[in-house]
Amino acid sequence: MAAPEGHRVAVGQFPERLAGKRRHTGRVLRLLVAVVILALLARVLRPAWRNRRLALRVWSSIRPRHVLGSIALLAVVMTVVLGLLTFVPPTRAGLGSLIGLTGNALFAPVEEAAVRSEQAPDGGGGQALLLAGTGAFLVLLLALFPELAHREELAFRQGLERASPGRELWAALRFGLAHMVMLVPLAAALAIAVAGFAYGRIYRRAYANLTAGVAAGGVEPPITVPAARAQAVLAATVWHTTFNSLVVVLVLVSLLLGGG
């Protein structure tokens, strides 16, 4: 017996309805992630303001070599990401893929604003307002990066001055994998670990330079281990902040070009 015409139409529409529900779920999850990111950043505002001297010191320490070096490091990181995604498919997995989201959760507010900008009526003020809000969010990120980078350098680099190669690699890997909570795939986390290894080498070099005079008896007064560690962490923070800021600047430029 042939199925009624209405039943066949309903069955044929099932995949389309399922896809629609998935799109709706994705939009809700993206909005939720954006709200969580904004809430987390809001919690950093007060300590970042109290520690604003650190930010000023970091920004004033950035030199052309930091920018050029970060551009080179970004090229290496992107090469690793693309290579892993292309030739090692399992590295495409991540927490984001489990819930149907892609990209770095840190930029979820940007993605949400971009989607809403596309849905805004042409010629209205909605698009301009959303673009302005997105630009303000990216500027906020730039302002908070010294504080955020410094926290990560304290957690993952401080104390590596006498670490074995294995411990140094493990610290870099932990740094990269910790970023998976930002919903990036494993490939991106492993590439971030490469950057973490670079920051570790910067920390070790800065510490060695600071204590070289102590070992030779040429520093008066001699620098203490905590002071040397603090300075080495600051050196790594400058590079870390420069790298993160470069990424945000690229996102902001693409936003402005796209908005034009």
Instruction: Specify if 7 maps to a domain.
Output: no
Average pLDDT of 13-33? 67
Is residue 143 very low, low, confident or very high in pLDDT (cuts 50, 70, 90)? very high
pLDDT tens digits, residue range 65-117?
999 999 999 999 999 999 999 999 999 999 888 777 778 899 888 877 777 66
- Report pLDDT for 74: 97
Count the domains in the chain. 1
3-state SS class at 51: coil
Give the domain extent around 25. Answer: 15-45+65-259
**Whole-angstrom distance, CA of residue 22 vs CA of residue 31:** 14
Instruction: Specify if 148 maps to a domain.
Output: yes
Is residue 2 very low, low, confident or very high in pLDDT (cuts 50, 70, 90)? low
Q: Which of 15-19, 66-70, 121-125 has the highest mean pLDDT?
A: 66-70
Q: Look at 3-17, 27-41, 112-126 and tell me which has the smallest mean pLDDT.
A: 3-17
Is residue 10 very low, low, confident or very high in pLDDT (cuts 50, 70, 90)? low
Tell me if 47 sits within 8 A of 139, measured CB to CB.
Answer: no
Tell me if 161 sits within 8 A of 208, measured CB to CB.
Answer: yes
Secondary structure (DSSP) of 113-179: HHHHHHHSPTTSHHHHHHHHHHHHHHHHHHHHHHHHHHHHHHHHTTTGGG--HHHHHHHHHHHHHHG
Q: Could you give the angle at which helices 125-156 and 165-178 cross, rounded to 10 degrees?
A: 150
Instruction: Specify if 52 maps to a domain.
Output: no
Instruction: Specify if 99 maps to a domain.
Output: yes
